[in-house]
Amino acid sequence: MMFRKMLRIAACLFIIFQSVSCISQSTNGFSIQGNWFPEYLGNINEAYTEFYIDDTNIYYFNPTSESISANEYYITNSKLYFRNVNVDSDKLMGTFSIKKDTLIIVNEAGNSLFLKQKELPNLEDLINDDTSFDIFFEGYVNREAIWNENKHKPQ
């Protein structure tokens, strides 16, 4: 009888531990990995861009120069930082959270919302040499055109 009670308590503790560990995983740096683009927030001057986040870097695609740049990042207490090797302190980009397929970054400038980029080919494909630049760029231009059309539609 006592053994059953202890077994139930152990099972409950195991379930609670698993639940807590799953919650903590949702806020670690790995949860922001993937391809992202900005959600249109109503400012006509907003520009479309795509970026990819792996476990150590955030890669940005610059369509003007047709180049990719990378910034090393890290996360502490749901705060996203860019490493800055040229100065003593790293740059705080803001506090982040993820809700479904939306990455939310909050800082002094306000809220920035980014949607999960699911269409292929994406920037990750280009970085990993899974697609050519020409094929990626054609997809990028098409996605940018649709985003800009939607930006000019009445809300």
- Do 98 and 104 meet the contact criterion of CB atoms below 8 Å apart? yes
CB neighbour list of residue 105: distance below 8 Å, 6 or more residues apart: 80, 93, 94, 95, 96, 111, 112, 114
Architecture of domain 33-151: Beta Barrel (2.40)
Prediction pTM value: 0.74
Question: Which tops the pLDDT comparison, 21 or 94?
Answer: 94
* pLDDT tens per residue, range 55-71: 999 999 999 999 999 99
Question: Which tops the pLDDT comparison, 31 or 10?
Answer: 31
∠ CA(145), CA(146), CA(147), 5° rounding? 90
How many of the other CB atoms lie within 10 Å of CB of 54?
17
Gap between the Cα atoms of 151 and 139, Å rounded: 18
Q: Is 129 a residue whose pLDDT tops 90?
A: yes
Every domain of the chain and the residues it spans: 1-31, 33-151
Q: Is 139 a residue whose pLDDT tops 90?
A: yes
pLDDT at 51: 96
State residue 72 phi and psi, 5-degree precision.
-75, 140
